[in-house]
Amino acid sequence: MKLVRYEGNPILKPRGDHWEAVATFNCAAIYRDGNIHVLYRATGDYVRYVSRLGHAIFDEELRLVERLEEPCFGPDLKLWEMSIEDPRLTELEGAVYLTYVVTPTPSPPGAVRRRLGIPKPMQAAPRTALARVKDFESFERLGIITPYAADERDVVLFPEKIQGRYAALHRPSNWVGPGYPVERPSIWFAFLDGLPGRMYDHKVIMEPEQPWEGKKIGAGPPPIRTGAGWLLIYHGVDENSVYRAGAALLDLEEPWRVIARTPQPILEPEEEYEREGDVPNVVFPEGAVVVGDELIVFYGAADKVCCVASVRLDKLIDYLLEEGGTT
Ligand code: BMA
């Protein structure tokens, strides 16, 4: 089973000569009052590679309603945020929350550095922070939520409490090898002691299994409640650094139990806009909304543009239950 691409892809491309001039990718999405709000990562130059978030609004047919001229959320240098990357949006208890990557040492991806002859810089481990979204124009910063010294990019909040507690999935890239239960970057479950809060009670829930996800895996959009379990779209990276997307179902009460997982990717780089860009061969989902029967997935392609692909939600669930096996 594969997601079907929207014929109007890419839905967002770089524009202008300022903050979003060179790349607009990796998009979060949330469905509100008949519109889909998209927050996307944007950068305006290849040397500093500072990212900010842009805001665009689409209707249910994916027609662009509005794209704001200015970034809606940018780094606060007083907090050592030099770059804001990879947003995810979750609606929880009537509020909208944003998880986002912060780093004091942004740098262009390897493919761009090699093209421009920029040496590999010193890099601090990225961390993930939380904000409450007031109206997509103002954001209340709630602080870092990932563990001290963990290298964390793919953090998503559950849209409901689990067993009465806030919960998240995360991917500590450096929690591998001796002293850890995994050899490669994996998806972990954790509770949060509040919002804002800290993670605790970490459990590995998914490790790389198939060759297409053999190097590392990470959560995509926040999990979506379905009758059959929490639907998780995630990305997997192979040994050649090709990024693909898969899906899994997690138990509703105990989401650290995986009910099913797609053996094959449901989306992989095929189109030119996915194969060629700033980082070739990347599809990177970060947003998903359910409109009627359809699951609409928003993803970054080749670290350059934003795209959409969809599937009937019940068909994907049936496929997962039939082909996804149990672990
Ligand atoms: C990850 C992040 C993403 C990016 C992906 C592919 O580590 O940097 O923002 O889309 O790599 O380059």
Domain edges within the chain: 4-323
Name the CATH topology of 4-323: Tachylectin-2; Chain A (2.115.10)
**pLDDT digit string, tens, across residues 111-130:** 999 999 999 999 999 999 99
**pLDDT digit string, tens, across residues 241-251:** 999 999 999 99
pLDDT at 33: 85
Name the pLDDT band for 35 (thresholds 50, 70, 90). very high
For residue 7, the CA-to-ligand 1 centroid distance in Å is: 24
**In the chain, % of residues over pLDDT 70:** 99
Name the pLDDT band for 28 (thresholds 50, 70, 90). very high
pTM: 0.97
Q: Which atom of ligand 1 is nearest to the CA of 284?
A: 10
Mean pLDDT over 178-187 rounds to 98
pLDDT at 59: 97
Count of CB atoms situated within 10 Å of the CB of 263:
12
Cβ of 103 less than 6 Å from ligand 1 = no
Mean pLDDT over 23-50 rounds to 96
For residue 228, the CA-to-ligand 1 centroid distance in Å is: 30
Can you tell me the distance from the alpha carbon of 212 to that of 327, in angstroms, rounded to the nearest whole number? 18
Can you tell me the distance from the alpha carbon of 8 to that of 6, in angstroms, rounded to the nearest whole number? 5
pLDDT at 325: 73
Q: Which atom of ligand 1 is nearest to the CA of 278?
A: 12
Answer yes or no: is pLDDT of 326 > 60.
Answer: no
For residue 305, the CA-to-ligand 1 centroid distance in Å is: 13
Q: Which of 284, 299, 304, 307 to mutate to test the pocket of ligand 1 (most atoms within 8 A of CB)?
A: 284
Residue 33: strand, helix, or coil? coil
Cβ of 243 less than 6 Å from ligand 1 = yes
Let me know: does 83 contact 102? Beta carbons within 8 Å. Answer: yes
Let me know: does 280 contact 25? Beta carbons within 8 Å. Answer: no
For residue 150, the CA-to-ligand 1 centroid distance in Å is: 17
**What is the average pLDDT value for the chain, to the nearest integer?**
97
**pLDDT digit string, tens, across residues 208-263:** 999 999 999 999 999 999 999 999 999 999 999 999 999 999 999 999 999 999 99
Q: Give Cα separations from 296 to 44, 145, 223, 299 (angstroms).
A: 28, 28, 13, 10
Answer yes or no: is pLDDT of 327 > 80.
Answer: no
Mean pLDDT over 86-91 rounds to 98
36 Cβ contact list (under 8 Å, min separation 6) = 29, 30, 57, 58, 59, 60, 62, 289, 291, 296
The string of DSSP letters for 93-119 reads TTEEEEEEEEESS----HHHHHHHTPP
pLDDT at 305: 98
**Degrees (nearest 5) of the Cα angle 176, 242, 320?**
80
Cβ of 86 less than 6 Å from ligand 1 = yes
Mean pLDDT over 155-175 rounds to 98
